[in-house]
Amino acid sequence: MNMIVNIVLVQHLKIFILLYNRVFLAFTYQEYEVGIIIAYIKDERIKRGNSNVT
């Protein structure tokens, strides 16, 4: 009985870890993309600011 319970728990844990990793990767990728967009916008602002100064 204990062996069966352990196997079921391990399988559930594996599924949970896989799902968690998927979600975690998705979130980190979105944050990464947002970071790139923010950096790009800041870069554009700096370029515009410099062009206005000159």
| Model pLDDT, residue 47 | 79
Higher pLDDT, 12 or 48: 12
| Model pLDDT, residue 54 | 53
Mean pLDDT for the stretch of residues 1-12: 85
Structure tokens at 37: 């967009």
32-50 residue pLDDT tens: 888 888 888 888 887 777 6
CA torsion angle 33 39 45 50 (round to 10)? -150
| Model pLDDT, residue 11 | 92
Tokens 């600011």 sit on residue: 49
